[in-house]
């Protein structure tokens, strides 16, 4: 039974950031917060959430000596992506108010917390933000986004082979997905499932005729072909800046924004690739308020959701310009909370983390007292 089980306040206030789950921790990179300075170049910030102790920690800035070393560390940005391969997190794309969009590949070693810029070759994608990145085997796939140099939406697929560090532009067959940004692309099996995003009715250039597609597009990485897909009902409303993740071979989407409807979402939908049908899911417990540009990471059988932005309560749920940025965090459990707690406890015993074991028991006692109060 799906249930929202944890709600925490006071984490990093971040919007349009990128996050990756590494073991029982979540690494969050960059993003923005309204009112902060994004014209002065500075190092990207890295926040780490421990899903066992339920605590945030900000990593100290990297000590830099020399101009070349400074180029190894990405500057603060938003609209970028981050993926994990083995013990390395690859960060790509995004933009900054001073530098604009970026197409440098940065690597972050999760063991040493050191940044470096791998040497790559091939057809490097143009600088952009609002793209998607997903991993299959040793390859990272980049799709879509808004290209800065061409000043238009993209529907290209680029592939980075991390064994050779060679970029390639895939010559995809079939009818491609529409040019778009702030969509989601999720790997299930050997296929990439693309949903949502912002596009233009007239083509790749932004003419303020925005459209929000609500149909799944599927790219087969084995045949390099966009597949013809059936249309079924019901369908979630089209949206951008939502979250997407896979669990047990099914696709889930949460939240997002649709400017035509002037609406932010906090609904959860499940898509079955087997029969190509959608189903709206209603988890137990109190979940997040409607929002967009949040992050969702899968840790075991739990989804860690944090950050994003929503209209200010006094402005109603549709206003795009009077927004409040979130510093909260929610956990969505796919299995019973008690079982999750038992698994965490066993993990703590193996790690001999006595401080966290104490935290575990305090949380458990608190939950039991809350049940008694109810």
307 conformational bin, left if phi > 0, alpha if psi -120 to 50, beta if neither = left
Beta strands in 162-276 (DSSP E): 166-169, 184-188, 191-195, 199-200, 210-211, 217-220, 225-226, 243-247, 250-258, 263-272
Tens digit of pLDDT for each residue in 261-276?
A: 999 999 999 999 999 9
Cis peptide before 146 (omega within 30 of 0): no
Spatial contact of 356 and 365, defined as CB atoms under 8 Å apart: no
Q: Report pTM.
A: 0.88
The answer to whether residue 167 scores a pLDDT higher than 80 is: yes
User: What does DSSP assign to residue 291?
Assistant: B
Query: What is the C-alpha to C-alpha distance for residues 292 and 290, in angstroms, rounded to an integer?
Result: 7
Q: What are the tens digits of pLDDT across the range 206-254?
A: 988 999 999 999 999 999 999 998 888 899 999 999 999 999 999 999 9
How many Cβ atoms are within 10 Å of 210's Cβ, its own excluded?
A: 15
Whether residue 128 is predicted with pLDDT greater than 70 in this model: the reply is yes
Percent of the chain with pLDDT over 70: 85
> What are the CA-CA distances from residue 16 to residues 140, 261, 306 (Å)?
20, 21, 11
- pLDDT per position as a tens digit, 312-332: 876 554 455 689 999 999 999
Q: In this predicted structure, which of 38-42, 182-186, 204-208, 370-374 has the lowest mean pLDDT? A: 370-374
pLDDT at 314: 63
Q: Average pLDDT in the 283-287 region?
A: 96
> Dihedral sign, CA of 265, 266, 272, 277?
negative
The pLDDT tens digits of the residues spanning 149-164 come to 999 999 999 999 999 9
Query: What is the structure's pLDDT at 368?
Result: 45
**CA–CA separation, 164 and 157 (whole Å):** 18
pLDDT given for residue 312 in this prediction: 85
Distance CA 134, CA 184 (A): 9
Sign of CA dihedral 247, 251, 252, 257: positive
- Over range 58-63, report the average pLDDT: 92
pLDDT exceeds cutoff 50 at 304: yes
**175 secondary structure, DSSP code:** S
Judge whether residue 357 has pLDDT over 70: no
For 8-57, the pLDDT digits (tens) are 999 999 999 999 999 999 999 999 998 777 666 789 999 999 999 999 99
Residue with tokens 């040493």: 112
d(CA 268, CA 113): 34
3-339 architecture in CATH? 6 Propeller (2.120)
Average pLDDT value over all residues in the chain: 89
SS3 state at 198: strand
Judge whether residue 5 has pLDDT over 90.
Answer: yes
Structure-token match 């949206």, residue found? 239
pLDDT tier at 111 (50, 70, 90 boundaries)? very high
Least trusted range by pLDDT, from 27-41, 59-73, 83-97: 59-73
Confidence band (pLDDT; 50, 70, 90) for 374? Answer: very low
pLDDT more than 90, % of the chain: 78
- Intervals of CATH 2.120.10.80 along the chain: 3-339
Mean pLDDT of the region 87-91: 98
With 90 as the cut, is the pLDDT of residue 353 above it?
no
pLDDT at 351 over 80: no
Q: DSSP for 3-52?
A: EEEEEE--S---BS-EEEEETTEEEEE--B-TTS--SS--BPPEEEEETT
Are the beta carbons of 227 and 220 closer than 8 angstroms?
A: yes
């Amino acid at each position: 039974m799906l249930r929202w089980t944890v709600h925490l306040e006071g984490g990093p206030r971040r919007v349009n950031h990128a996050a990756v789950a590494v073991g029982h921790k979540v690494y969050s990179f960059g993003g923005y917060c309204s009112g902060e300075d994004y014209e002065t170049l500075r190092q990207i910030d890295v926040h780490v959430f421990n899903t066992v102790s339920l605590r945030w920690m900000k990593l100290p800035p990297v000590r830099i000596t020399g101009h070349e070393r400074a180029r190894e560390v990405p500057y603060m940005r938003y609209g970028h992506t981050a993926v994990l391969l083995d013990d390395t997190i690859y960060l790509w794309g995004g933009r900054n108010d001073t530098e604009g969009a970026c197409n440098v590949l940065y690597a972050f070693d999760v063991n040493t917390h050191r940044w470096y810029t791998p040497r790559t070759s091939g057809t490097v994608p143009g600088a952009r933000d609002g793209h998607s990145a997903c991993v299959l085997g040793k390859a990272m796939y980049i799709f879509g986004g808004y290209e800065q140099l061409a000043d238009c939406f993209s529907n290209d697929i680029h592939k980075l082979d991390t064994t050779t560090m060679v970029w390639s532009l895939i010559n995809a067959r079939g009818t491609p997905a529409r040019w778009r940004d702030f969509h989601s692309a999720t790997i299930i099996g050997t296929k990439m499932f693309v949903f949502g995003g912002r596009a233009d009715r007239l083509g790749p250039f932004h003419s303020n005729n925005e459209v929000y597609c609500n149909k799944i597009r599927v790219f087969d990485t084995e045949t390099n072909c966009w597949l013809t897909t059936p249309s079924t009902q019901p369908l979630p409303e089209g949206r951008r800046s939502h979250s997407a993740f896979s669990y047990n071979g099914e696709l889930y989407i949460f939240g997002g924004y649709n400017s035509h409807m002037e609406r932010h979402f906090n609904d959860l939908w499940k898509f079955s690739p087997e029969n190509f049908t959608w189903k709206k899911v209603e988890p137990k417990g109190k979940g997040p308020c409607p929002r967009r540009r949040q992050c969702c990471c899968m840790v075991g059988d739990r989804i860690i959701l944090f950050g994003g932005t929503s209209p200010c309560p006094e402005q109603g749920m549709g206003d795009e310009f009077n927004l409040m940025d979130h510093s909260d965090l929610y956990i969505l459990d796919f299995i019973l909370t008690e079982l999750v707690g038992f698994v965490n406890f066993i993990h703590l015993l193996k790690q001999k983390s006595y401080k966290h074991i104490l935290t575990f028991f305090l949380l458990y006692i608190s939950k039991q007292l809350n049940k008694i109060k109810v």
